[in-house]
């Protein structure tokens, strides 16, 4: 499968624990996005990478959230000291080239904080 | 939503009818894209319209863009039960961000 891959698909964690999600974009896609989506809402932008550089972060991304994209390939999103409000679907997308390109989405990681 | 709103929030139609969804936004765009999401799954790109384009077609899909009104519409003709999904518009700002609206939940009744 050459699409965007996200792992794990589901994660249940206790409040206060740290979690890390991984996203493997489509090979050679230089752009990578993270979004958060809650039930009945649209995806909310969290952060964006061009190659290994994190070019933009949403104000939604508190200091408990950190994202990396070492070597411009896969990316990780870590949430420290999880809170119940962090429960959501975390979506990763990648694209190649300039502005007039579509984004390809992974299936997402569903996080439940209990 | 971060940057846009879809209208209506929910739409229910009979199979064979046309479905129209609207999207409004607040700031300038490079392009506007429409995506589809089946329940609990990732988003799939449908169509992209550039800021200097006014209308675009792809199969049963027709998208219009009015930059003076900062709005776009997605028309699905001859709907099918398989078109049941949530539809989102996404605004591309500059060369980077892609901001999504709140979505329209379309139900096509067989």
Considering only the beta carbons, identify the residue of A99, A102, A106 that sits closest to B30: A99
Question: Is the pLDDT confidence value at B82 over 50?
Answer: yes
Cα A101 to Cα B22: distance, rounded to the nearest angstrom: 22
Residue length of chain A: 114
Cβ A48–B97 below 8 Å, yes or no? Answer: yes
What's the pLDDT score for residue B1?
46
Cα A84 to Cα A113: distance, rounded to the nearest angstrom: 5
Cβ B41–A107 below 8 Å, yes or no? Answer: yes
What's the pLDDT score for residue A58?
85
Give per-residue pLDDT as tens, A67-107: 999 988 999 999 999 999 999 999 999 999 877 889 999 99
Q: Is B81 in a helix, a strand, or coil?
A: helix
Residues of B at the A interface (Cβ-Cβ below 8 Å)? Answer: 1-2, 6, 30-31, 33, 35, 41-45, 48, 50, 88, 90, 92, 94-103
What's the pLDDT score for residue B95?
59
User: Which residues lie closer than 8 Å to B52 by C-beta, 6 or more apart?
Assistant: none
Residues in chain B closer than 8 A to A43 (CB atoms): 43, 88, 100
Residues of A at the B interface (Cβ-Cβ below 8 Å)? Answer: 4, 31, 33, 35, 41-45, 48, 50, 55-56, 58, 91, 93, 98-108
């Amino acid at each position: 499968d050459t699409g965007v891959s996200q792992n794990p698909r589901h994660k249940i964690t206790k409040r206060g624990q740290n979690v890390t999600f991984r996203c493997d974009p489509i090979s050679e896609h230089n752009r990578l996005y993270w979004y958060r989506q809650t039930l009945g809402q649209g995806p909310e932008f969290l952060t964006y990478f061009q190659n290994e550089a994190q070019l933009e972060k949403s104000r939604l991304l508190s200091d408990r959230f950190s994202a990396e994209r070492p070597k411009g390939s896969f990316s990780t999103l870590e949430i420290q000291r999880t809170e119940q409000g962090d429960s959501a679907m975390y979506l990763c997308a990648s694209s190649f080239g300039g502005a007039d390109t579509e984004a390809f989405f992974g299936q997402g990681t569903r996080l439940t904080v209990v | 939503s971060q940057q846009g709103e879809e209208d209506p929030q929910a739409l229910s139609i009979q199979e064979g009818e046309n479905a129209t969804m609207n999207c409004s936004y607040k700031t300038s765009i490079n392009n506007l894209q429409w995506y589809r999401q089946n329940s609990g799954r990732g988003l799939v790109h449908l169509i992209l319209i550039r800021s200097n384009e006014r209308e675009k077609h792809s199969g049963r899909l027709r998208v219009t863009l009015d930059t003076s009104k900062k709005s776009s519409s997605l028309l699905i003709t001859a709907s099918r039960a398989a078109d049941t999904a949530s539809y989102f518009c996404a605004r591309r700002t500059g060369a980077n961000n892609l901001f999504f609206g709140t979505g329209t939940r379309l139900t096509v009744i067989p």
